[in-house]
Structure 1
């Protein structure tokens, strides 16, 4: 027998805001057999429509329609013979979180949370042209006014939070003004940053405050831009812990709410990207975020709101990690994983299309606009963020897909992404202030993707263009080696380009119209594909066998899902290219 529908006890608006629904007083009229009406509680909501709508106090204040939806009952299916759905249909996108509504409408007023059970005593809580639009966590006017005070020396000696912030900002400014170097202890920026680090222990051990959080954030930004310093993980983790302890992810704060929320979203952006890159879970739970995204004019370039866009991307990274790269996700059937991949692709494409054409990934960059420092860095970040997750998604697809057509599409998507990433290296400033993510990680991923494809498909029609791109990207790393005075030994990567070119030249040309036979998965190279027979210079092999290869680069930050690197002993026993077939020694990206 079907049950009559019942209404929710809270209206739809209050349910969405997760606030208590307080109804207006209402007198219910009982059947005529009763002589007296029954006065109900003002907080009661009728189970069936009484003849006229009841409007709660919240909707009255907001002048919104107050609607009570039917209560959804969870019914159990008694018929066990019902056919089960395929595993692919088991994937369901996560429910709409409050952060998703904040991202869709940044100006929407966030629901206010009355944290009456929390008793907490809060303390008082020059790199600006380029970095401030990317990380708008400071009030520039207040910072500069305090820096110009005549008693600045006294303040720096007594206020360790401001001292850490002050010297970290000076260090960042030195990076962008030519007073930095890839070599620690050889630049003004590093010396200033060391002064900031002397205050780190007091900042971490003291009571949480906005000033302490800002100091941590500035130091974390400096650390993420460097090769040798291994403090970025510690600083970002501490900033994430502190911002949650201060409860800036909630709506109600006792300080300058706009500045507090700015700082939270900057840390959200930093922490989500770092966590995904490091293949670890984020410490910031998206389902517990309830603060608005404040208006930040300094982060708006034309029609592009960078802060909102970076938050959107961070949200996509959180969804991708939870549904694809977490431990629980790795135990799901392949069809379920592929469905999740499609969902993340959809989110990523929506994000890409929301970006203005001047910054949109897969669209050409306007060289004339790249003169502006902030424009160029935000444009490069936007493109490389997009390529970052595309590489991860397509690599995962190649691992789990058993569909030939889909695997072919993923392979071509990887190649296209690698080509576009390498084409952008011409715009990268090979300077100490450029983030390692842009300077090395994505270009290195693209290099290995192209190299792997060339040595496995030497007769592909696009091989000539791929070899040219390998020359370009290895030239980028040679420039990095030169700019760092050998501190970052990356010129050895030119050996990959040299080796790939010589190998391709040694393979006999196929007749016109003859296509290269595809190799089965997990199989050895077919015997009819010749091995280079000419005596070539083995300089490239000697360079690649050098134990100092890529010394200085942090391989721990290079996710194995983005590319596979050669084994450390892959050139052992090889004396010349005449006896070398790279497919026998190199771990293939394209399975």
Structure 2
């Protein structure tokens, strides 16, 4: 269909390029077809990366099935350096291993023999080496290239053995480690597969109900898997394997993931629970079919829960506060603060998008303006934070590229449709900042990732705004000054579009729910008084913004509705044969 969205991850429009109808509208405004060409070039790059990544593992497995390969180990010094890099830079964020246990086995005299006899251990060992090497300047932006990838391929060669084996804690941990490596740009297509298989195995082994004091390692592994799988599903739109309603596993204390006043581990788990509730409440067929008044009330309740989660973080880590590296002296503190900011902004962007695409028809004019400002402000906040992103092969792809790219496209759309808005110049500056980030990515990858393509959005926007203002200046000189500075038509909102699906989950443990206050479900009648996300690029509340899918009836995307049958209703009514009476 002509309005089909092209997505980077998954089938849902949560992280997407523009639909064809909007591309045509923007191109009409720009006066040329460069946007079509640009999007085609970006799609081609993404498709090539996906194809190349998926083509490597099987070929490697076929070439390296002989067990002799495991004797080809790096020197003890290199092993020690890569393992140290893993536990210094990655373990505090994903603390699913026992460092002493792993180090002891990896440094033992029988390492080579243990890699031959225990395939799950071999898969875990090489995955940890791959991650450590990636964080030790041995990574690459390209699939199949570099020292880190050579270790990852060895780990991948055991993937079938993990799936068809009996299942074990080590096997689950190996899949988690492979997923961590796969969260980066060189292997991003593997992450959902690794996490879903790990979740299936963990539930089959009963780790979601592990509460014995002797099962501390199982609990730690399960909860790391939980927040990785839930947040991955939130980003990709895939269905979560973990059923929250059946989880009774206690959340352990993880000292190595605590940054003085910030318990990162518990905060991340609470966030994962929240995005799980967002999907269940907003993005299932049953939830979308509920009355809009109820739907909007749920959205606002979830927005307030998200705000409550934000406020639980200490000020120096808190999303919405200025990120100040001088206050984040601990190792990895800046990285953890950036991840926390991006988690919050990603969820807020999704909720704002949901209201504007699905529920805007029921909002008043003032409420619409508040939501439109929030959407722009949230996209701006993401782009403001790109200066803190480490452009490296080890950076997760959703931080490095996906969320900044999605925010850039939202802001680009707003700029083109609000050329004369007083905030447009500031938005253009942020587009330039984002362009600089993607240009850095092209430089760091030696051209493997052509970030300058993305930087061209800023050029197109700036060129269009310049020509529009010159034309308006000429008109003013001929006809006198205009009284209007905004391009927003006054037509009533008419677009009802499906919200961007993010994750598919149910309900969770009482412990997690108790950390967020129970909020009223009544419809919020004045969104202008609701808690708003922070951004230094604050908007002038005296000016209106124009969003075509709200303010222009011709932008109705009826075929993007979440259509389907709620199967829970199939057996709610007695079946009546033709001609029979009840």
Shorter-chain TM range is: 0.5 to 0.7
Distance 1:163 1:300 in 2: 30
Q: Residue 89 of structure 2: which of 119, 130, 144 is its match?
A: 130
**Compared with structure 1, are the counterparts of its residues 561 and 479 closer, same or farther at alpha carbon in structure 2 (3 Å cutoff)?**
farther
Distance 2:148 2:275 in 1: 32
Unmatched segments (≥5 aa) in structure 2: 1-82, 503-546, 553-582
Max Rg structure:
1
**Compared with structure 1, are the counterparts of its residues 481 and 152 closer, same or farther at alpha carbon in structure 2 (3 Å cutoff)?**
same
Distance 2:551 2:184 in 1: 31
Distance 2:328 2:460 in 1: 34
**Compared with structure 1, are the counterparts of its residues 517 and 148 closer, same or farther at alpha carbon in structure 2 (3 Å cutoff)?**
closer
Which structure has more relative contact order (CA 8 Å, sep 6+)? It is 2
Question: Alpha-carbon deviation of 1:522?
Answer: 8.2
**Compared with structure 1, are the counterparts of its residues 517 and 224 closer, same or farther at alpha carbon in structure 2 (3 Å cutoff)?**
closer
Q: Residue 363 of structure 1: which of 321, 331, 348 is its match?
A: 321
Partner of 2:139: 180
Distance 1:188 1:369 in 2: 35
Partner of 2:425: 464
Distance 1:243 1:198 in 2: 21
Aligned residues: 408
Distance 2:231 2:186 in 1: 17
**Compared with structure 1, are the counterparts of its residues 502 and 296 closer, same or farther at alpha carbon in structure 2 (3 Å cutoff)?**
same
Q: How does 1:124-203 map to 2 (within 5 A)?
A: 126=83, 127-203=86-162
Partner of 2:224: 266
Q: Deviations over 1:537-569 (max 9, x none)?
A: xxxxxxxxxxxxxxxxxxxxxx9569xxxxxxx
Q: Residue 455 of structure 2: which of 467, 475, 494 is its match?
A: 494
Distance 1:345 1:173 in 2: 37
Distance 1:216 1:275 in 2: 16
Partner of 1:291: 249
Partner of 1:246: 205
Q: Residue 300 of structure 1: which of 258, 275, 280 is its match?
A: 258
Unmatched segments (≥5 aa) in structure 1: 1-125, 525-558, 563-585
Distance 2:501 2:373 in 1: 17
Q: Residue 210 of structure 1: which of 169, 184, 193 is its match?
A: 169
Question: Alpha-carbon deviation of 1:426?
Answer: 0.5
Distance 1:522 1:474 in 2: 35
SS of 2:233's equivalent in the other structure is helix
Distance 1:423 1:353 in 2: 21
Tell me the C-alpha RMSD between the 2 structures: 2.2
Question: Alpha-carbon deviation of 1:410?
Answer: 1.0
TM-score by length of 1: 0.66
Question: Alpha-carbon deviation of 1:142?
Answer: 0.6
TM-score by length of 2: 0.67
Distance 1:300 1:148 in 2: 27
SS of 1:185's equivalent in the other structure is coil
Partner of 1:425: 386
Distance 1:198 1:366 in 2: 43
Partner of 1:236: 195
Distance 1:228 1:242 in 2: 22
Question: Alpha-carbon deviation of 1:590?
Answer: 7.6
SS of 1:433's equivalent in the other structure is coil
Q: How does 1:428-439 map to 2 (within 5 A)?
A: 428-439=389-400
Partner of 1:115: none
CA contact (8 A) 2:127 2:181 kept: yes
Q: How does 1:516-527 map to 2 (within 5 A)?
A: 516-520=486-490
Partner of 2:63: none
Question: Alpha-carbon deviation of 1:227?
Answer: 4.1
Q: Runs ≥4 in structure 1, deviation > 6 angstroms? A: none
Q: Deviations over 1:297-337 (max 9, x none)?
A: 00000111111101100111111001111121111221111
Question: Alpha-carbon deviation of 1:418?
Answer: 1.4
CA contact (8 A) 2:98 2:217 kept: yes
SS of 2:88's equivalent in the other structure is coil
Partner of 2:544: none
**Compared with structure 1, are the counterparts of its residues 148 and 390 closer, same or farther at alpha carbon in structure 2 (3 Å cutoff)?**
same
**Compared with structure 1, are the counterparts of its residues 267 and 347 closer, same or farther at alpha carbon in structure 2 (3 Å cutoff)?**
same
SS of 1:332's equivalent in the other structure is coil
Is 1:349–2:319 an aligned residue pair? no
Distance 2:168 2:501 in 1: 38
Question: Alpha-carbon deviation of 1:358?
Answer: 1.1
Question: Alpha-carbon deviation of 1:291?
Answer: 1.4
